[in-house]
A and B are shown apart, each in its own frame.
Chain A
């Protein structure tokens, strides 16, 4: 019962947010700091509190005992200037070797994020926020050894960073398209017998659009001129009640920036045997809802500043 109530409340809140959004008109940029566009990356939550829609994200994780396919969707809405709320859900399909497939929803996840400090001329942004995964809202059908803590709520305060390399000297100008993002968080389980854990992830990106638009037009044609090669990593380090070492993946891949969407493809390479037995993969479509529906998205619900175009 609790599972359905939480989900219905979340959906109702989103419907109300959509209705309010239609009342406002001005458009803010998505993920822009100075001349730099920081794309939303699949594993490292970007530092921007803006309207974003990830639908779908498909993740394939091979494991020794089963194969797993996750279908994730998340929606972020800027509520006040520089403050956004996100709701996310994942549909999990487990295929145990020698057993019947199991599938169901994960716990409902929420995130609040605030852009605390920005220096556009240095392409720098620092944001703070927190994830909350509501225990008991996931499907009981997928309760097993891989998901032993679904009944417990997890709080994860996060620090988000983004920095472009635009200040490099002319001798290193071909490194200016580089940028880094990172998220550092700490999982706090409410009453669970699990270890709290440090979550740390990051991305190193090389923006070919930035190269051609801000550094030197070297004549790279489409579709390559719209691509951003990158390497991400996502690590978990237990900090108490566990002897488990750090686990995680290193994820090289590429993003393609379209007019209204971004497509991401990454390989997931486990860093040790505890992280997985084989290479997995990740595919994500990120929809630029502020471009696709500018009257509905791309601006905060409240205290909308209508002066940006005049600056």
Chain B
């Protein structure tokens, strides 16, 4: 069939290349996205779908005024990122993250959780 030749021309080069990682999206988090928790968590941990590049991956926790309230001790290992929190009073907090996968794909995201 005529369709075979153009497909071969297009995709034969791909057969010589090794597949790699993909974009790192959020798989799940603790506290859970949009959850209400009590007592206040001592850290925020994110599990991503791909391994991360520690040098460029970032995570912050902001209070209702937009001020960063985490302990700025973010640790990136494999596909997880974690940052410690001080004693949090009740309120709504926003987690902002930027993930750079090991193949340099960049993704961003944010979500809130509430401390009761």
Contact = CB atoms under 8 A, between A and B. Distances in A.
Interface stretch (B32-40, B63-71, B74-82): B32-40
A224 interface: no
Contacts of B28: 212, 217
B106 A293 contact: no
Interface size class of B (residues with CB under 8 A): 35 or more
B105 A29 contact: yes
B33 A29 contact: no
Contacts of B17: 293, 295-296
B34 A298 contact: no
Interface residues of A, number: 45
Interface string B93-116: 000000010011111111100000
Query: What's the dominant secondary structure at chain B's contact region?
Result: loop
B33 A309 contact: no
B105 A298 contact: yes
A215 to B, nearest CB: 6
Nearest to A12: B9
Contact of B33 (A37, A71, A75, A214): A214
A260 B29 CA distance: 23
A282 B52 CA distance: 36
Given A26-B104, A29-B105, A105-B2, A216 B35 contact: yes
A213 B111 contact: yes
A288 interface: yes
A7 B103 CA distance: 34
B21 A291 contact: yes
Interface string B1-32: 01100110110011001011111011011001
A35 interface: yes
Contacts of B34: 173, 215-217
A292 B23 CA distance: 10
A34 B19 contact: no
A14 interface: yes
Interface in A275-311: 288-296, 298, 308-310
Given A259-B49, A294-B20, 13 more contacts: A11-B9, A11-B10, A14-B9, A14-B10, A27-B105, A32-B107, A37-B25, A73-B10, A216-B34, A291-B20, A291-B105, A292-B14, A294-B104
Interface of B: 2-3, 6-7, 9-10, 13-14, 17, 19-23, 25-26, 28-29, 32-35, 49, 53, 56, 100, 103-111
